[in-house]
Structure formats: C-alpha cells, structure tokens
Amino acid sequence: MAMKERASVRVPRIIFALLFALAALFPLIWMLLSGFKMNSDVLATPFNFFPTSWHIENYIKIIQDPAFSRAMIITFIGAAIFTVFSITINAMAAYVFARLDFAFKRFMWVIVIGTMFIPNMAILLTSFIVVTKLHMLDTMLVLIVPGLASAAQMFFIRQFYLNIPIALEEAALLDGAGRWQIFTRIFLPMSQPAFVVVGVTSFMAYWNAYVWPIMTITSPGLFQIQQYLANFRVTRGPELALLMAGSMLAALPVILLVLIFQRKIIGNIKIAGLK
C-alpha cells in the first residue's frame, strides 16, 4: 500500500521477518558451528551451541582427505560440463520452438513437453537398462549425458525467447542472415538472464543428485560428493565434526551460486500463465 505504515505495525513485521530468516538458516549455522567442534562435542551433554574450543583443523583435515577433495573436484567438473551442454542443447531447441516454423512442429512439441510429466522413478530401472546397454555404467558419461535434455529448462528459455522482439530478427533475415547466425549473434548474447536461472538449476540438479549416482557409480574414485557424504556417515559415523565440516563445504558451491546470482534467480520466481 502506498500509505506509510505505523511503527506499531512495522516493527513486529521486521521482527517476524527476521525470525523466518533465522529459522531457515538455523540448521545451516548449526552445521557450520559443529564443524568447528571436537567430534565428541557435537553430541555432548550438556549441549553447547557454540564450540567450547574452535577447531578449524576439521575443515583442513576434510579437505586433505583425498577421497573428499576428489569427490568435490569430480562433481564440480561434472556439474560444469553438464551445465554448459544442458544450456546449449535446451537453448537451441527453445529457439526452434519459439521462432521457427517446420513440419510436424505441434507433434514434436507435444512429445517434448510430454516428457516433463514422466517422473524419474517411473523410468529409473529402464534408464538403468539403457545405460547398461550403452556401456556407460561407472563412467562420468552416465552422470552427465542422460539428464542433459530437459523439457522444463527448454520451456523456460523459450518463454524468454518469445519476449524478444520479432522485428530484430526480421531485420537480420532481410540482411541475409541465416537462422543459425541469428541464434548465435542475436539470441545467445541476449540470453544471459535466462541462462543464469537455468544454469544454476542445472548445476544444482547435478551437484545434489544422489539416487542416480548410487545406482550407476560403483568405483570409489568416481564417487560424487553426495555419495561420498552419505558413505562417510555410514562408515565413519563417530567423526561427526568432520562430517559436519565436509557437509558444510559440500553445500558451499550451491550457496555461493545463489548468493552471487540472487537477484536474477529470486527475481525470476514467478509463475508463467497463472494469475
């Protein structure tokens, strides 16, 4: 409302809002602090929220664990490759659906969008059969390739492309530019806001994946970070502070991504077509 709120309304509003923020961040703050405790202190009675003594060496120790660092690096590389290819593939399809006219367009659209409604679990086993037949099991390929094409991502980029004025494109067409040139010279440079959102989503999906990696990756050398953490919890249960430090570091890349791109990501959370 345009009217200025009275302090009696505004102050409780601010307090409530900060309480929401605190409640949301509390488990993470607690994880961060636990990473600084001694292993025996994480679950000590009486309970200490803050470490009684600060042990930054937990964070150093977990980084020096070769299995942890390798999992972090391998997952990061996989996620980066996954993100780049996923954006490229989905953006090309988005451009085609947004701007080109071609035979069986409607049919192709229905097929592609239809895949969005197939839950992972319905095809988990049969996807496993496919990657087995393609000899992809226990390679980085099995983590990257099967999820690259995403109708949801394509749809999001297409919505963005629909808003780019057609006049821009028609001028280029008159100048004799081909469709591919228009895509790479006009659309790609303008796509950054959409790519930030789908890029972060792709990176996150890869980084946070757990079920698919544990089904398809068996060599410890290829363990993904979530796999490593779940495994650590089972095999090295008592080293709780180390586990907390590792989990904190494993959460950091996605947290940083969101903090860096917060305005674009959070600004983009609306619902297309719903009002």
Partner 1 sequence: MTTSNTDAGVAATNALSSTGAASAAPVEARTTDRTPRTKRHRHPRRDNLVAYLMLAPMVVLLIIFVIIPFINAGYLSFFNWSFYKPSEFVGFRNYVNVLEDPDFLGSIGRGLYFAAMVVPTGMILAFVFANVVKGLGKKLSGFVKTSVYIPTIISGVIASIIFVVIYDYSGGILNWFLGLFGVQPIAWLADPSIALPALAVPAVWIGFGITALIMLAGMLDIPDSYYEAASLDGAGWFKQMLFITIPSLKNVILYLLIAGFTAAIQEINLPLVMTQGGPLNSTLLPNLYLFNHFTQDTYQGMPIAGALLLFIVLGAISAAIFSILNSDKAVDG
Interaction with partner 1 in 121-160: which residues (CB under 8 A)?
A: 121-130, 143-156, 159
Contacts of residue 153, Cβ cutoff 8 Å, sequence gap at least 6: 86, 87, 90, 198, 201, 202
Question: Counting contacts by CB under 8 A, is residue 107 touching partner 1?
Answer: no
Q: Which stretch binds partner 1 (CB under 8 A): 53-61, 62-70, 188-196, 248-256?
A: 248-256
* Residue 105 vs residues 87, 108, 110, 112: alpha-carbon distances, Å: 21, 5, 9, 11
When binding is defined by CB under 8 A, the residue of 6, 46, 163, 165 that contacts partner 1 is: 46
| Among candidate residues 242, 246, 258, the one with its CA nearest the CA of residue 72 | 246
Residue 109 CB, nearest approach to partner 1 (Å): 6
Question: Counting contacts by CB under 8 A, is residue 233 touching partner 1?
Answer: yes
Residue 148 CB, nearest approach to partner 1 (Å): 6
Burial annotation 55-66 (CB, 10 A radius, 16+ → b, else e): beebbebbeeee
**Alpha-carbon gap, residue 260 to 91, rounded angstroms:** 23
Number of residues that bind partner 1 (CB under 8 A): 125
Site for partner 1 in 168-227 (CB under 8 A): 170, 173-174, 178-180, 183, 201, 204-212, 215, 226
**Alpha-carbon gap, residue 97 to 91, rounded angstroms:** 10
Identity of the residue, 73 or 111, whose beta carbon is nearer to partner 1 in the bound complex: 111
Question: Counting contacts by CB under 8 A, is residue 20 touching partner 1?
Answer: yes
